[in-house]
Structure 1
């Protein structure tokens, strides 16, 4: 169960980054997977690191917007 309620914990990205976009086909797959579930190509570590960094940047932006609205 997610902190935010009734989400599906394996696809919800509210608590932590979980998805990466495959650089080969553009499909979304789980960060834990070594291969894309669509094209079966290996997902490089750089793509995974970029996805995690983008998630943290989005979270920081959301926190800033939340702080401004208060």
Structure 2
């Protein structure tokens, strides 16, 4: 039996029912996939360039998740 993440965001004005399920759920899955790639790369870069490594590790949370969540209005 597998685990399926379901994220719900209520209080949004992007659709009439003011709740989003699909956007945040797909955004979370994309966040995890991007994090699996970005965090080890960012940790390796952090050893030599601290600021750049932090930006790479923060990329899934600051860019990937918000873009996908906001792109899907449902």
What TM-score do you get using the length of structure 1 for normalisation?
A: 0.34
Name the structure where helix makes up a greater proportion of residues.
2
- Which structure has the bigger radius of gyration? 2
What TM-score do you get using the length of structure 2 for normalisation?
A: 0.33
Higher-RCO chain (CA-CA 8 Å, sequence separation at least 6): 2
